[in-house]
Structures are given as C-alpha cells and as structure tokens.
Chain A
Amino acid sequence: MDITALTSRRFLVPGLITLTVLATLPLYGSLYTVILITTILMYIILAVSWVIFSGPTGYMSLASAAFFGVGIYTAAVLMPNTGQLLPLPVVVAIAGLISGLLAVLVGALTLRLRGIYFAIFTFGLVEIIKQVLLYWEFEVTHTRGRFVVLVDNDTVFYIMLGIFVALMLTVYFIRRSKFGLALQSIGENEEAAAHTGINVTMVKVITFGISAIFMGAAGAIMATRWTYIDPYIAFNPLFSFMPVLMAIFGGMGQLYGPVIGAAIFAYLQETLQTTFPYYYMLIFGIVLVVAILYLPNGIVGLIQKLIQRWRKGGSAEQNANT
C-alpha cells in the first residue's frame, strides 16, 4: 500500500506536466502533430485497457479488436454523414457502454475457459462479429461500409485525451482498491482466491467490462477521423495483437510500462510507415524480436536496470572521492 502511495506522488508532477503539454498541444503543435498524438493516444488507450484485465489476471484476451470495432460501428450508426443523431460525447459514451456490455456478456460465458482456450475464443469473437456484419451488409442492407460524420481534428484530439485521462484515473483507483487486490490474487492463484471469499467470476467479468468500455469509446472517436469504415477496417485483427505487443514491449510491471510501450510503438509505426513504406513491417518485426529477446521485462525493466546501475555507479564515485 505505501509503495503505491509513494509511486503515485512520484508520478504526480510529471503526470501533470505531461497533461498540460498535451492539453495545450493544438495551440502550438502542427496539424500533423495533433493527428499523430491522437493516434498514439488511441494505441495507449488500447494497450492500457488491455492490461487492466489481462495484466493482473493472466487471461490473454485477443478481443480488443472486437470491442474497438463495436465502438466504431456504434459511432457509424449514430453519426452517419447524412446527419448526426446525437452529440459526439454522448455517442462516445454509448459506444463505450455497448462494448462494455458485450464484454460482460462474453465474459460471463467464457471466463471459465483458461489459458489458450480463452485466447482463441476471444480472437474468434472478432471474426464472428466481422462475418455477421458482412453478411448483414451484403444480404440485408445491400451496402458496403458506412460513412461517418467528419469532426475537426482538435475535437477528436481532446475527446481522445479525455478518454485517456479517465482511463488512467480508473486504473489508478483499481490498483489501490480492494478490488485491485482481488484481481491480482486471481492472477496468482484463482482457486485460493475463491477460497478466501472472492467472487472470482464477478471480479473477472466486471474488469473485462471496464477494459472494453475504454476500447469502445476510443473506437467511436476514431471512427470520426476515418470517416469511412467497413467491417474489415473496424474489426482489423491488428487491433487485437497490437495492444498485447505494446504492453509486452513496454513492460507490464508498472502502470507507465504499457503507456511508454504504446507511445514508442505507435510513433515507430507511423514514422516507419511514412519513410519506409515497403520495409516497414520487416523493420517493425525485427525491432519486436530484438525487444522480446533482450528486454524480457520491457522498456520499464530496462529503465529500472539503468537507474540501478546509475545509482550504484554514483555511490561508487562518491566513495572514491572521500
């Protein structure tokens, strides 16, 4: 408990500075920067919300793309380019709730599955929803994809930032609460957790739902930036794998791990894609392999190691001087 209090104070000042820099970004940043940061924030949200559930419990969810995609489609239905039905923040909230509800339903059905079975099922969910939507568009509506209302970049950016802040606060409070302890103990030993009186199914399902809310909300706001979406765009399996890779790349031991991982990853993807359009996937893959081979605890593990070495080196120097 005191450790969390300590770390939170340590991160309060840098956190506030980052937030101020981000909140004023549209005032001095170029249009490109604002769009780039929006994308980075989206990936951070996906990675951190994935970690909320899969980090402590150890259940590998590959359903991120499903919840993200449901958010996208909700926005497309409620805000077609022919006329917006509801105000943007309301749409984002509804999209989050629908994704959350879907996660609760799916979680209640499948969270009895362990290990690889759960991973495969969640991945199947993405495909199922995609195929159902394709069928529906082909057979019933006779359309392909949908157009979404165009929203200006600053608004998209601020709503994404708002979702990000809400997510970080949620994670912070979960980690400090009794609920967070319960979540962690499920990951360590689910049977023992049940023995100590934790309603393990309920805790898992609720957490799964919370993580999906943020993914859905992020999807809804992203839809307004893409303006055209179809099932292949909305339910792209990359959105299931990316959050996992980003979280592993950043390191899951600390809250800032997936944040840093997602930020670096997203930036890398963007720059590689623009400068080396043909080789970008190859370079990306190499970076990933190297990271997993040499940074088993992610970027955070590396940072911690460096700090330790620096401290040791510093004290050795002091000893030499005296």
Chain B
Amino acid sequence: MLEVSNIDTFYGKAQALWDVSLRVDEEEIVALIGANGAGKTTLLNTISGLLRPASGSVEFLGKKIDGLAPHSIVELGISHVPEGRKLFTDMTVRENLEMGAYPYHAWKQKEETLEHVYQIFPALKEREKQLSRTLSGGEQQMLAMGRGLMSRPKLCMFDEPSYGLAPILVVEAFRAIKSLREQGITILLIEQNVRRTLEIADRAYVLENGRVVLEGACDKLLQSDYVRKAYLGI
C-alpha cells in the first residue's frame, strides 16, 4: 500500500534521514520506534508531503506521491495525526472535526463520518460544543485522532498518540488504534511506549540516527536481544 524507497531527507544542510525504506501493507499496523531525534517524525512528514526527500521515492497505492503538496496527499487517503495534537484551539470540538473532513470527497459524507467518529470516541460527542482548548489532554488526543479520521483515510499515521497521557488513557488510545484496524484502516504508528506498541503492531522498524537499523515482525523483535536491551530495558 505504502512503499517508501531509499529516501534521504534534509533540513537545510543537515541530513535527517539516510537511505530509509519502509513498506506498509493493507490492513497492517506498522510501528516506527526509536529514540528522540531518530527521524521518526521527519519520516512521517516526508510521507505526508510537508518535507520533500532529496532522493528516493514514496509510492502510495502504486502512485508516486513524493513531490505532491500535503493537501493532495490527504485527498489520496493518507491522514497524518501530528505530534502534539495541533488542534484548532479556538474552535469547538465539532468544528475541529468538520475541518478534518475538508477534502472534497470527505466533505460530502461529513455527517456520516462524524457519527462514526462519535461512536469510536463517545466523549467527543458530549463535548461537541466546547472549545477544544478546554478539553483534557486525553480528550484532546482523541479529538486529534478523530479529526484525522474525518478525511476517511485509507492509511492513518499517528505520531506519538500516547504522549503525555495518563496510563489509563494510554490503554484507551491503543484500544482505539486497534479498533481502527478492524475497520479496515491501515496504520503507521510512532511510539515511545515500545512494549505496548510491539504488542499491537504487526511489524516494526527501528530507527536510529536517521537510519533503519532493524525491522521485522513484532513477535520476533520482542525476542531480539538488541530490542530488549535498548528499548525494553531487560
């Protein structure tokens, strides 16, 4: 479904990604793990068109998407829920969700999608008319995820959905992600919560200093000495 081949990405002169390749198949949950500064967010930003790779290619559903503008990539069916939520804080919960349905085809079905998102996150319906900045951290994360779903994506990319959440809400966030896969949405997930991530994902890539150092099925990675030592602290 998504095929990233040998990309190099720079911030000005500083190279952030080195020859990174990654594949996501339909209805998979693929995780990206790695320390801060490893290049995980840079990789997602390159896929969603906010950054352009200097070399290499990104293909989605057989179509080359590197070089397309972010809004065109959203319309093709990739949704990116950014790190730190980035909500429209002075808009209501409902308006935030409606903005998520901005692409033309999604706008027409917005009421339907809205019902669906409210089913996944009932708390959002209760707070529909509140300004989004008045929500708790957990609710804000749900709103960010809900907004990402409003464009009716085929592939959803989550950047650290559990960041800053209380442990009980982390469980909630992971439950939501799992339920999305059951509804046929493919997921690319960045997480620091390595153990839990490897438990729900199918495959994972380990990024270090802008390079993929390890990849494979999650159950294998959970067994690997390297991952156990570096990321699970065992």
Partner of A184, one of B75, B91, B148: B91
Partner of A178, one of B70, B80, B107, B147: B107
- Residues facing A in B87-108 (CB within 8 A) are 87-91, 95, 98-100, 102-103, 106-107
Inter-subunit contact B70/A194 (CB<8 Å) = yes
Inter-subunit contact A185/B69 (CB<8 Å) = no
Cα of A195 to Cα of B151 in the assembled complex, Å: 10
B212 at the interface (CB under 8 A from A): no
Inter-subunit contact B151/A197 (CB<8 Å) = yes
Inter-subunit contact A195/B89 (CB<8 Å) = no
- Closest CB in chain A relative to B121 CB, distance in Å: 17
Which chain B positions have C-beta within 8 A of A184?
Answer: 88, 91
Q: Which residue on chain A has the smallest CB distance to residue B144?
A: A192
Known A188-B88, A191-B86; contact A199-B71, beta-carbon cutoff 8 A: yes
Which residue among A178, A184, A193, A195 has the maximum number of chain B CB atoms within 10 Å of its CB? A195
- Closest CB in chain B relative to A137 CB, distance in Å: 42
Which chain A positions have C-beta within 8 A of B82?
Answer: 191-192, 195
Q: Interface 1/0s, chain A 168-183, versus B by CB < 8 A? A: 0000000000100110
- Closest CB in chain A relative to B124 CB, distance in Å: 16
A155 at the interface (CB under 8 A from B): no
Inter-subunit contact A188/B89 (CB<8 Å) = yes
Which residue among B88, B95, B103 has the maximum number of chain A CB atoms within 10 Å of its CB? B88
Cα of A13 to Cα of B82 in the assembled complex, Å: 45
Inter-subunit contact A178/B102 (CB<8 Å) = yes
Which chain B positions have C-beta within 8 A of A182?
Answer: 99, 102
Which chain A positions have C-beta within 8 A of B80?
Answer: 195
Q: Which residue on chain A has the smallest CB distance to residue B151?
A: A197
B50 at the interface (CB under 8 A from A): yes
Inter-subunit contact B86/A197 (CB<8 Å) = no
Which chain B positions have C-beta within 8 A of A181?
Answer: 95, 98-99
Q: Between A and B, how many residue pairs show CB distances below 8 Å?
A: 62
Interface size class of B (residues with CB under 8 A): 20 to 34
- Closest CB in chain A relative to B126 CB, distance in Å: 19
Q: Which residue on chain A has the smallest CB distance to residue B106?
A: A197
Q: Which residue on chain B has the smallest CB distance to residue A194?
A: B70
Known A188-B89, A188-B90; contact A196-B69, beta-carbon cutoff 8 A: no
Which chain B positions have C-beta within 8 A of A195?
Answer: 48, 70, 74, 79-82, 86, 148
Cα of A188 to Cα of B133 in the assembled complex, Å: 12
Partner of A185, one of B50, B74, B81, B88: B88
A304 at the interface (CB under 8 A from B): no
- Residues facing A in B51-91 (CB within 8 A) are 69-71, 74-75, 79-82, 86-91
Which chain B positions have C-beta within 8 A of A189?
Answer: 86-89
Cα of A233 to Cα of B151 in the assembled complex, Å: 50
Inter-subunit contact A185/B91 (CB<8 Å) = yes
List chain A positions with a Cβ less than 8 A from chain B. 178, 181-182, 184-185, 188-189, 191-200
Beyond contacts A195-B48, A197-B103: 12 other A-B pairs, Cβ-Cβ < 8 A, are: A188-B88, A188-B89, A188-B91, A189-B88, A189-B89, A192-B87, A193-B88, A194-B50, A195-B79, A196-B74, A197-B75, A199-B71
A-B pairs with beta carbons under 8 Å apart, 8 shown: A185-B99, A191-B86, A195-B81, A197-B71, A197-B106, A198-B71, A198-B99, A198-B102
